[in-house]
Amino acid sequence: MYILPAIFFGWSLGANDAANIFGTAVSNRIVKYRTATIISAIFIILGAMLDGAKGIETISSISSSQIGLASISVLASAITMTTMTYLGVPVSSSQAIVGSLIVTSLIEGNVKWGVLVKLFAAWVGTPIGGIIFSFLAYKIFAVPFNKIKSIYVKEKVIFYGTLIIGAYGSYSLGANNVANITGVFAKTIGVQNAALLGGVSIALGVLTYSYKVMYTVGTQIIELDYYSSAIAVLGESITVWIYALLGIPVSTSQAIVGAVIGAGYARGSRLSSKKIILKIVSAWVNTPVISGVITFLIYYIVKMF
């Protein structure tokens, strides 16, 4: 029973964050929506199982030793993510779970600020990394790509390149963000079981409820062509994967927004809607606060009964 909120949270994350991998490709009709979700689901599970342990251990180190409080923190994060997904706003599962864990830590009187400061710093570095890696990747790969004369060959390179990059991005998502889903339960069920449960629940969200946010990320931030769409996902994937190797769960939403901007500016595009950026940035700020407040409310409601 205590694990059920984690499954709900994983489903919410998958529904929200699938857009960060294939949103630009689907909205630009490079890849069909169903194809994108199937590839994402498979490689998310692989990433969680093969490279998710470090992040799980990080979240486990700041989570409550009481399974009841751990469950409350995950439930509050899931509610936050689901609400944002319904509104079509890409948000951070990392910030949702950390906001909840801060409240449960305060309740217990045991806040590990050292780990939290590391996570906060990564939140700042994530969109910057997305911008830098996608900008550089655009410039580097544009040289050989522009030498291809055949339009047919270019289209094939874009198509297969997008599938490969999408698989890599999905792997990175699973490796990095599985910690947000089941990291709080690692002390109870073990790291590998936490990785499997988290990976599968994220995959379910991708397969069942990811279309609306894909549209938001893919079309409303900045104008992208087929090449820059693929490059944006590559920049985001590199950023998220590096943090996974460091054991720091970060926001794929922040990474892809930065990567889309970096790729867009590399090709000379301008922001198509600054209101969308402000909406997403405000959600980044509000997410940990909202999640923390919901955690506080659930805790006291449960305590009353």
pTM above 0.75, yes or no: yes
Q: Give dist(CA 48, CA 172) in Å, integer.
A: 8
Q: Is the pLDDT score of 172 beyond 80?
A: yes
Give percent of the chain with pLDDT exceeding 90: 61
Q: Is the pLDDT score of 192 beyond 90?
A: yes
* pLDDT reported for residue 215: 64
To the nearest 10 degrees (0 to 180), the angle between helices 151-182 and 226-246 is 30
Q: Which residue has the higher pLDDT, 20 or 288?
A: 288
Q: For the chain, what is the mean pLDDT?
A: 89
pLDDT in tens, 67-88: 899 999 999 999 988 887 677 6
CA angle (124 as vertex; 259, 13 as ends), nearest 5 = 65
271: which strand partners? 222
Least confident of 14-23, 79-88, 119-128, 276-285: 276-285
Radius of gyration of the chain (CA): 18
Size of the chain, expressed as the number of residues it contains:
305
* pLDDT reported for residue 257: 82
3-state secondary structure 50-68: HHCHHHHHHHHHHCCCCHH
Q: Which residues are within 8 A (CB) of 53 and not within 5 positions of it... i.e. 6 or more apart?
A: 191, 192, 195
* pLDDT reported for residue 100: 95
Q: Give dist(CA 217, CA 139) in Å, integer.
A: 22
* DSSP three-state, residue 268: coil
Q: Is the pLDDT score of 281 beyond 60?
A: yes
Give the DSSP H or E segment for 139: helix 113-146
pLDDT in tens, 26-71: 877 888 999 999 999 999 999 999 999 999 999 999 987 788 999 9
Q: Which residue has the higher pLDDT, 109 or 76?
A: 76
